[in-house]
Amino acid sequence: MSLDTSIQLERPVALVTGASRGIGRAIAFSLAISGYRVIVNYRSNAEQADSLCSEIAAAGGEAVALQGDVAKAADVEAMNAWLTRENIYVDVLVNNAGVLRDNVFVMMSDAQWDEVIDTNLKGVFLMSRAIVRGMIEKRRGKIINVVSISGLVGTPAQANYAASKGGVIAMTRSLAKELARYGITVNCVAPGFVETDMLGEMNERQLTEMLKLVPMKRAAKPEEVANLVQFIASGACSYMTGQTLVIDGGLSV
Ligand code: NAP
C-alpha cells in the first residue's frame, strides 16, 4: 500500500469508511471525481474496494484501499499508523461504515446489540478521535457522519440501530461545539431508504409497506446521498456545523 505523496499538496484527502459497497462507494467515487484523493476503507471486501480504486483511477482520480474494522481499536490504530507513516493528513472524514441487525426488542440478542453499537457508534468515536488530532494541528477539517432517520424517528425492531444512530447525532452536536474553534465542522446526513445491500437485509414485506409511505414512492440511489455529502465536503458549505441533514424523499416530514 503506497501513495504518490508528491501530489499530496495539490489534492485534499478524504477518508471514507465502509466504502467498498453501497453509499460509501458512491461517496468515495463522487469525492474522487470532485478532486479528492480518496482512502477507501473496508472491513472484509478487498475485491470490491480494489475494483472501486481501479474505477476511480480510470476516471482520472486517485484512490487507495485501506483495510480495517472501525469497531476494533487495534485496527483503527493500525490505519492511523499507516496514515502517519505515509504523511497523509485527512481533510475530510466520512464515517459511513454501518451494520443492521434488526430484531424485535424482546428477541434482540446481546450480540445483535453489541455488533451494531460497536460498529455504528463506537466506530465513529474511534475513527474521529484518531483523525481529529491531525485536523486540530492543521486548524481545519470536516467530519461527515452517515446516520439514518432511525436516529430521529421511531422505527420498530431497530432499538440497537436507532440507539447507535441517535448516539452519533448527539455526539455530532457535542463535537461540533468542541471543535469549531479549530476550524473543524462536524455534520450528519440522515438517509431514509437507500438502494444498497443493507436494504436487502430488511424484511421484504415490511420494506414494500414502508416504501409506500415514502411521499416520493421510491428509495434513494446511493449517488443522491453522495451528492449531499459532496456538498458538505465542499468549500461552498463553510458555515454549517452540528447539523443533521435528512435525505429521505419526505418520509419523516
Ligand atoms: P452496505 O451496502 O451494507 O455497506 C456497508 C459498508 O460498510 C461496506 O463497505 C462494509 O464493508 C462496511 N462495513 C461494515 N462494517 C464495517 C466495519 N466494522 N468496519 C469497516 N467497514 C465496515 O450499507 P449501506 O446501505 O451502504 O450503508 C452505509 C451507511 O448508510 C451505514 O452507516 C448505514 O447505517 C447508513 N444508512 C443506510 C440506509 C439504507 O437504506 N441503505 C439508510 C439510512 C442509513 P465490507 O464490504 O468489507 O463488508
| CATH code (residue 132) | 3.40.50.720
Catalytic residues: 161
Q: Which atom of ligand 1 is nearest to the CA of 70?
A: 19
Domain of residue 214: give its range: 11-240
Mean pLDDT, residues 56-72 taken together: 98
Give the end-to-end CA distance of the chain in Å, rounded to a whole number. Answer: 45
Please, which pLDDT band fits residue 9 given cuts at 50, 70 and 90?
Answer: low
Q: 60 lies in a domain?
A: yes
Q: DSSP characters for 44-99?
A: S-HHHHHHHHHHHHHTT-EEEEEE--TT-HHHHHHHHHHHHHTTPPPSEEEE----
Atom of ligand 1 at shortest range from CA of 48 = 46
Is residue 1, in this structure, part of any structural domain at all?
Answer: no
Residue 252 lies in a domain: no
Among 79, 96, 127, 168, residue to substitute to test ligand 1 (most atoms within 8 Å of Cβ): 96
Please check whether residue 104 lies inside any domain of the structure: yes
Tell me how many domains the chain contains: 1
Look at residue 93 and tell me if it is in a domain.
yes
* Residue 186, in any domain of the structure: yes
- Residue 6 maps to a domain: no
Confidence bin at 7 (pLDDT 50/70/90): very low
How many Å apart are CA 243 and CA 245, to the nearest integer?
6
Residue 153 to residue 241: CA distance in whole angstroms: 21
Q: Which of 40, 99, 114, 168 maximizes ligand 1 atoms within 8 Å of its Cβ, making it the mutation to test the pocket?
A: 99
Give which of 209, 223, 119 is closest to 155, Cα–Cα.
209
pLDDT 10s digits, 138-194: 999 999 999 999 999 999 999 999 999 999 999 999 999 999 999 999 999 999 999
